[in-house]
Amino acid sequence: MDSELNVELQTLLGSEEFQFKRLVIEGIDNEPVFALNVPSARDQVISLFHKAVMSGDSYVQRLAQRIEVAIQSRVALPVVRFADGEYEFYNLSLLCNGLYRQAESTGAIRRALPLHIEAICAVANGGILAPLVFPGNCKLQRGLSALWKRKNGSDGAIRFFNFLNCNGVRLTEQNYTPFYAVYAYLSSARFAVAMDRRTVCIINSDYDATACIDWFARAGSHPQLMHVRIPDSYVATRWSAMRDAVLAQITAVPDLFIVGAGVGALPVCVDLARQFSVPAIDAGHILNMMNNMELKSRGPRFFTYRR
C-alpha cells in the first residue's frame, strides 16, 4: 500500500486530506482481470482516498446512498468517471481516440472544451467525480523521459488535475469517489435491488433488450427499461448539436439514467440529470456487460467480477 502522494499531485489537489490506499471491496474478485494483464496492472487497485473515508466498502456505501436518496427525492445527480480517454481529450490530444472515436480533430476538441468545462464544474458542485487515480498515472517526468511518459500514460492524472486546477475545480470529500467504486456499485446486488420496479433509461449506441433484462433478472431485479439511442462516435464533440433530439426521445421521466457515451458521457449526464432531476450515471463497461458485449471493451475490467 502506498500512503504518500507525490509533490505534484499533492500541490494540484490543494489539500493534505487525500492519500493513496488499497481499494478493497467485499465480494469483488479481481483475479480474472489480473490474470489477463501485466503485473503492473495490480497498481490500479491502489486508489486515491479522502482521509475521512476509511475503506473501499465505505466509498461504495456512500455512493449507493447518494444515488438512492437522489432517486427518492428527485434530485439531479450526475456521476461521471474519468480515465485515459478524458485525460487525453482535455489535453487536446487525438490519443483520446482509443476504443471509440471521440474527436474528429484537435480543433473539434478545442471548440467542445467550453461545454466540457461548464459540465465538469457542474458535477463538482452538485454531483460526483470519479477519476482513475493510482500511483502509475501520477508520475510526472520532465526532460528526456517526458515523451515516453506521455505515450505511456504515466502522467495522465497529473495532467487531469492540472486541467481541473486551471478551471477552479477541486476534489472534496463530497464530490469525489474512486473510479472503480462506480463499477463496484453498478455490479452489486444492492444496485440491482434498488432498481427493482424502477424505471431505468439506458442511453447508448448498442442495446440488447433481452440481455439487459436478463442481467437484472439474474439478481432478482425487474426494472422497467427504456432505451434512447445515441451515435457511436463523436458525442464528446457534437453533443450540443444532438442534445435536443436525444432529450426529445425521452417521453417519460425515469428514476435513473445509465449512460454509455465515452468522453461525451460528461455533458450527457449533466444535461440528463438537470432536465429530469434524477441521477445520471456514466456506466461505461458495465453497459457492455449488461448488453452481453464485454468484448467491445477488449477484455474484463477491475471491480466488476463477484465471488
What is the rounded distance in angstroms from the CA atom of residue 23 to the CA atom of residue 299?
Answer: 21
Q: Which amino acid is at 75?
A: V
pLDDT tens-digit series, residues 154-195:
899 999 999 999 999 999 999 999 999 999 999 999 999 999
pLDDT tens-digit series, residues 22-61:
999 999 999 888 888 767 678 899 999 999 999 999 999 9
DSSP string across 211-226: HHHHHHHTTT---EEE
Is the Cβ–Cβ distance between 154 and 106 less than 8 Å? no
Domain locations in the chain?
A: 1-307
Is the Cβ–Cβ distance between 18 and 50 less than 8 Å? yes
DSSP state at residue 88: H
What is the rounded distance in angstroms from the CA atom of residue 253 to the CA atom of residue 61?
Answer: 26
pLDDT tens-digit series, residues 130-148:
999 999 998 865 544 444 4
Beta-sheet pairing, 18-22 with 46-50: antiparallel
Read off the C-alpha cell for 81: 468517471
**Three-state DSSP state, 125:** helix
